[in-house]
Amino acid sequence: MVKENKKSLKKISSRRKFFKVAAATGAAATAAVAMPNLALGSGHVTLKMQAAWPSGANIFFEMAGDYAKMVSDMSGGTLKIDLQPVGAVVKTSEIGDAVSTGVLDMGHWVTAYWYGKNAAASLFGTGPSYGMSSQEVMGWMEYGGGRALYEETLAKVGYDYVGYFHMPMPAQPFGWFKKNVTKVSDVKGMKYRTVGLATNVLTAMGMVVRQLPGGEIQPAMKTGLIEAAEFNNPTSDSQFGMQDVSKHYHLGSFHQSQEMFEIPINKKKLNSLSPAHQAILKNAAYAANSDNYFKALVRYSADLSKLMNEHKVNVYQTSDEILAEQLKGWDKVIGDFNKKDPFFKKIVDSQKTYAKRVMKYLLMNQPNYRLAYENEFGSLAKVKI
């Protein structure tokens, strides 16, 4: 009886060991399926990105860095971006070609910077408004058919990359002038800096437009090469030192009433990454989209206050007369391009279809926020910030 009991105990112990091993193996397999190692099959990867912005005190370069940090954080450090400033590898105008050929893995710029290759590029950021802000243009990109048209535009210019977008920029200021301009006659013949389709629009208004890189704007205005200029926002403009060459700043304009960053990524490099890393690059752009916008509102408003209070800059809202003339300029420019370029018209028609429906809802649904603001703080023109 004792021997038989010992044999039975050995069998039970053996079975218990078998089930423990099996259970452990099964649990490990289940965990591998449920929570795959993000680095599995990809190792640690570093991608080289060049921005169109200088390093140091530059909020756009800072925002590119925010995106890079999000990618690293989301991947647990297995995917990193080596962010380089403007000119580190190629000129700004060469970023698209450099990413396409693999000289760079990634870039950080705006589509208006490849407007020279195809005017339709400007429609993906600095096109006509139709009542849309940058938020709605990005909505059209992702849910209104814009992305397919964007990819078709890339193919037409020979860019071999995948592009992600982030940071729906507030409407850009009309810019910096030597005096307060309120009439169309005040700006006719004026030498002015802008980029993209806005060059055509303001030329149609009678302005003499020159396209200059951001870093050349302030020196050009100081030497008289240009008489007026815009770049993007109170923070960037003050970082360029525009307050030292002008004391008249006009906000809110239709020449560039919306824009956003484009992140081009070499298609071959992107496809070589693990699915997890590919998803992180895409979804980090969505995360940066919100974060950068929130940051912009705080920083832009704070720097506008500094311009007004510390640098004694006179700040105005662009007059309705000039805004109306800008819209006429857009009508002419878009009409001319539509006649000569069916593909351009295809994009415009898609935007109009989206804007007609979406903006009717938004404009009818949004209350008059200015009324609420002035109820609390008083006349907008007189409020000190």
Q: Per-residue DSSP letters for 71-114?
A: HHHHTTTSEEEEEE-TTSSS-GGGHHHHHHHTSSSEEEB-GGGG
Distance CA 54, CA 62 (A): 10
Q: 172-255+310-338 belongs to which homologous superfamily?
A: Periplasmic binding protein-like II (3.40.190.10)
User: Could you count the other beta carbons within 10 Å of the beta carbon of residue 341?
Assistant: 15
Which of 301, 272, 286 has its CA nearest to residue 66?
A: 286
Per-residue b/e over 144-157, b at no fewer than 16 CB within 10 Å? bbbeebbeebbeee
Are the C-beta atoms of residues 154 and 161 closer than 8 Å to each other?
yes
Q: What is the pLDDT of residue 215?
A: 79
With CA atoms as reference, report the closest residue to 304 among 217, 238, 208. 238
Topology match between the domains 45-169+259-297 and 172-255+310-338: yes
pTM equals 0.85
Q: Tokens at residue 100, please?
A: 């396409």
The pLDDT tens digits along the chain (385 residues) read 444 444 444 444 444 444 344 444 444 434 433 434 444 444 799 999 999 999 988 999 999 999 999 999 999 999 999 999 999 999 999 999 999 999 999 999 999 999 999 999 999 988 999 999 999 999 999 999 999 999 999 999 999 999 999 999 999 999 999 999 999 999 999 999 998 889 999 999 999 998 887 778 999 999 999 999 999 999 999 999 999 999 999 999 999 999 999 999 999 999 999 999 999 999 999 999 999 999 999 999 999 999 999 999 999 999 999 999 999 999 999 999 999 999 999 999 999 999 999 999 999 999 999 999 999 999 998 999 9
Domain ranges, ordered by start, for the chain: 45-169+259-297, 172-255+310-338
Burial 117-126 (b: 16+ CB within 10 A, else e): bbbbbbbbbb
Closest by Cα among 67, 172, 44, 64 to 112: 172
Q: What is the torsion angle, in degrees rounded to the nearest 10, for the CA atoms of residue 220, residue 176, residue 169 and residue 298?
A: 110
Domain 45-169+259-297 fold is: D-Maltodextrin-Binding Protein; domain 2 (3.40.190)
Show Cβ contacts of residue 264 under 8 Å, excluding neighbours closer than 6 positions: 95, 96, 99, 100, 106, 107, 109, 159, 161, 162, 163
How far is 256 from 268, CA to CA, in rounded Å? 33
Report whether 132 contacts 140 (CB < 8 A): yes
Q: Is-contact 157 291, C-beta < 8 A?
A: no
Q: What is the pLDDT of residue 75?
A: 98
User: Which among 73, 82, 123, 127 is positioned nearest to 106, based on CA atoms?
Assistant: 82
- In the block, tokens 């408003």 appear at 301
**Cα(366)–Cα(380) distance, rounded to whole angstroms?**
19
